[in-house]
Amino acid sequence: MAIVLGPNRYGKAETRLVRVHRDGETYGLVDFNVSVALSGDLAATHQTGDNSGVLPTDTMKNTVYAFAKQHGVGEPEAFALLLARHFVKTQGQVDSAKVSVESYAWDRLGPHSFQKRGDYTRTTVVTVSREATQVVSGISGLVLLNTTASEFHGFVKDRYTTLPESTDRILATAVDAKWRHLGDAADWATSFQGALDAMTGAFVNTYSYSLQQTLLSMGTMVLTNRPELAEIRLTLPNKHHYLVDLSPFGLENDNEVFIAGDRPYGLIEGTVTRDDAAPASAEWYL
């Protein structure tokens, strides 16, 4: 028996990049949070502190900024691919580079003026190894709510069950979703917008008997509409809205007044996949 080093990686997390592009009098704005993680032959630095195979994380940060100048910054997937390929290509000791980007949207107010949107964050995680390239796109913090068209009943009852059955409830969630692309080239902007519209449309149009049912509808609609995608993982908190008991005050509450609860919350997680898609080449939804 021996105690040995297992899987490991290292990198620079949360490099905050703002890139301005000028087109005459009109300015464009890109706002990213970039994280890089490299893995490969890193035993020496762990075992003896020999850093001869360690590209400093400070250099990764510099590379993000230099590439932003040299190549410009467009879609997050493209920028992440550029960075990940660079590290694998130039660092022989690196087997795999994972580049994650959070992208924040701004609305234009004028030729050089912007207002930050806060409705959701667009995400990407690109993993480039010597064998394969994997692109995952996603979204976090998209909060959706239906005031009706949601029921929940017919569930298991055991000794500890007190929940009444409901034929009309609020259904609300904060969508955290990631979807894996079949390839490493796409019209990233169109693909993202299409996936978002499919998810949102399915949430709105599904008459729901469980949040699980809504989840499967959302995932299925995304894969139906976006042939370039292999699979999607949705993590949906069930943001409970509790009907207030107004009977002590002689008032009825016909699904009008709710407490928006913080904790606990339901948490529904599920994957929807094409059954003939090649398996993922790296962790993809974590």
> Which 237-266 positions form the footprint of a second copy (CB under 8 A)?
237-238, 241, 244, 246, 248-249, 251-253, 255-266
Number of residues that bind a second copy (CB under 8 A): 139
| Residue window 99-128: x/- pattern of binding to a second copy, with contact defined by CB under 8 A | -------xx-xx-xxxxxxxxx--------
Q: Is 273 exposed, middle or buried (0-12, 13-18, 19+ CB in 10 A)?
A: middle
Residue 35 to residues 13, 98, 114, 156, Cα–Cα distance (Å): 4, 8, 25, 44
The reply on whether position 71 binds a second copy by CB under 8 A is: no
Q: Which is nearer to a second copy, 131 or 158 (CB)?
A: 158
Helix (H, G, I), strand (E, B) or coil at 228: coil
The yes-or-no answer on residue 212 being catalytic is yes
According to the annotation, is 48 in a ligand binding site?
no
Min separation Cβ 150 and a second copy, Å: 9
Min separation Cβ 138 and a second copy, Å: 16
Min separation Cβ 184 and a second copy, Å: 20
The yes-or-no answer on residue 57 being catalytic is yes
The reply on whether position 70 binds a second copy by CB under 8 A is: yes
Closest Cα to residue 253, out of 239, 243, 242, 265? 243
CB 135 within 8 A of CB 101: no
Phi and psi torsions of 274, nearest 5°: -80, 135
Token pair for residue 279? 């398996």
Token pair for residue 140? 């976090």
Token pair for residue 159? 């000794």
Nearest 5°: the CA angle 8, 10, 13 is 140
The yes-or-no answer on residue 153 being catalytic is no
Min separation Cβ 282 and a second copy, Å: 13
Binding test (CB under 8 A) with a second copy, winner from 99, 125, 202, 215: 215
Binding test (CB under 8 A) with a second copy, winner from 74, 85, 91, 281: 91
Phi/psi zone of residue 159: left (φ > 0), alpha (ψ -120 to 50 degrees), beta? alpha
Min separation Cβ 265 and a second copy, Å: 6
Phi and psi torsions of 246, nearest 5°: -100, 5
| Residue window 28-67: x/- pattern of binding to a second copy, with contact defined by CB under 8 A | -x-x---x-x----x--xxxxxxxxxxxxxxx-xxx-xx-
According to the annotation, is 173 in a ligand binding site?
no
CB 179 within 8 A of CB 229: yes
Question: Which of 212, 213, 235, 273 is labelled catalytic?
Answer: 212
The span from the CA of 182 to the CA of 74, in Å, is 21
Helix (H, G, I), strand (E, B) or coil at 168: coil
Q: Which is nearer to a second copy, 47 or 131 (CB)?
A: 47
The piece of 15-23, 75-83, 128-136, 182-190 that touches a second copy (CB under 8 A) is: 15-23
Binding site for urate: residue ranges? 57-58, 152, 169, 212, 238
Residues making up the binding site: 57-58, 152, 169, 212, 238
The set of catalytic residues is 57, 212, 240
